[in-house]
Amino acid sequence: MKMFHMTVPDHPDATLEGYLLDCEITLGQEARRPAVLVCPGGGYLYCSPREGEPVALSYAARGFHAFVLRYSVQEKAAGFAPLDEVSWAVGYIRENAEAWHIDPEKIAVCGFSAGGHVALASGLMARNRANAMILGYPATCAPNMPQADFMLKLLEGKQDVTDADAEKYDMPAKVTKDAPPMFLAATAEDTLTKSCTLPLVNAYSAQGVNFELHLFQYGPHGYSLANETTADGSSRMLEPAFAQWQELSVQWLHKTFGKPEFVDKSTSKMAGILKEMGFTKESEQMASFA
């Protein structure tokens, strides 16, 4: 795996991290892979570490190139800067798709809570849009909810906000027929964002856009992977039922993008080296073991 860390151009408080799977070794298979761009949550106050790298690495373990965007927060989020940053990140991944062995038409954006809000906004409004969206308990209409009024003030960059301001960030109202397909996982006990779930799903249904919804009964807001990797020492963040969402999202991506193709050819690098050195018989024997 190759990793990189960079600052988003013209946005000094935003960074992009990449986790690129090794593709240089000739495996006799198609080298281009799909990619997942992860946007952590945090109410536009911070980017949660629990919803960043662990999630990206879990997708990398399933064969996806993975990225984490830590977008601008607090006063730096004014003017909906995170939306521009997600758009830039998707475009940057596409620009480098050939060099990074990425299929440019198989890029998914994955967001949690406020990260789910900006991920969805990028799929509906951005210049560079992902091909699919994975949303974990997204705050898709939270900026115009009383308990999340601070988010609206951060995004608008002012204290006095209006209903017209709030409408700009209400994502269910912006769903159209060309919206990217969506996977959504949430819980019925999530008092912060559960009221956002059904309006978004209904909007997708009304527009005839493909989506998959998993509404689990139990659990608070902020589960992330809901396993020991992201529990951060809290048993409240462990829930085996909700933890299924990540594997379900992988299955959904395979249905949406197509399953990876595997060809039964030798995957032995040693066999190739032996052949180049003139050990033809030995290379054939080695290839038969792989």
3-state SS of 130-174?
Answer: CCEEEEECCCCCHHHCHHHHHHHHHHHCCCCCCHHHHHCCCHHHH
With a cut of 70, say whether residue 29 has pLDDT above it. Answer: no
Question: What's the pLDDT at 254?
Answer: 97
Q: Considering the chain, tell me which residue range(s) the CATH 3.40.50.1820 domain(s) occupy.
A: 2-259
pLDDT band at 243 (very low <50, low <70, confident <90, very high): confident
Contacts of 247 (CB under 8 A, 6+ apart): none
Three-state DSSP class for residue 203 = helix
35-88: pLDDT as tens digits: 999 999 998 999 999 899 999 999 999 999 999 999 999 999 999 999 999 999
Closest CA to 53 of 65, 68, 32: 68
pTM of the predicted structure, to 2 decimals: 0.88
* pLDDT, greater one: 242 or 184: 184
15-28: pLDDT as tens digits: 999 999 986 555 54
CATH of domain 2-259: 3.40.50.1820
- The confidence band for 91, taking pLDDT boundaries of 50, 70 and 90, is very high
Task: Please name the helix (run of DSSP H) or strand (run of DSSP E) that holds residue 67, with its range, or none.
Answer: strand 65-70
Task: Provide the pLDDT confidence category of residue 223 given band limits of 50, 70 and 90.
Answer: confident
pLDDT for position 142:
56
pLDDT at 96 over 90: yes
Burial of 115 (0-12, 13-18, 19+ CB in 10 A): buried
